[in-house]
Amino acid sequence: ASGAEDGPMAGGDAVPFESPPELEVDFHLSTLRRTVWGMDVPQGVSPIVGGGFHRESTLLEALQSGCCDKVPGGGRKFVVSVGEAVKIRAEGTSWK
């Protein structure tokens, strides 16, 4: 599978993401009468790294749009970021 594809990996080789227990949070949404859970990204510098096609860009796109109003059906209705959050990209070169 390619990182440009939205479908699941063939052969069942995908490893589902699991949040570290110390970063798990839950929120009760009274207007929806339900509780949702997810992972808290602590304030400060949080490097998001990985190999090719590991979906780091997908996570960064969700986080950078988390401070904006949501589009119904956009798939990111529970992503929330502070307005001051920034994304810094590193150069694609090797360090020597």
pLDDT digits (tens, 9 = 90+) for 24-72: 999 898 888 999 888 888 888 888 877 766 777 888 888 888 877 777 7
The amino acid present at 71, given as its one-letter code, is V
With beta carbons less than 8 A apart as the criterion, state whether 27 and 45 touch.
Answer: no
Rounded to two decimals, what is the model's pTM?
0.60
What DSSP line would sit under 51-73, residue for residue?
STTSSHHHHHHHHHTTTSPPPTT
Q: How far apart are CA 96 and CA 35, in angstroms?
A: 48
pLDDT digits (tens, 9 = 90+) for 67-88: 777 777 777 778 888 888 887 7
Q: How far apart are CA 26 and CA 37, in angstroms?
A: 4
> Hey, what are 69's tokens?
């109003």
**φ, ψ of residue 26 in degrees (nearest 5):** -135, 150
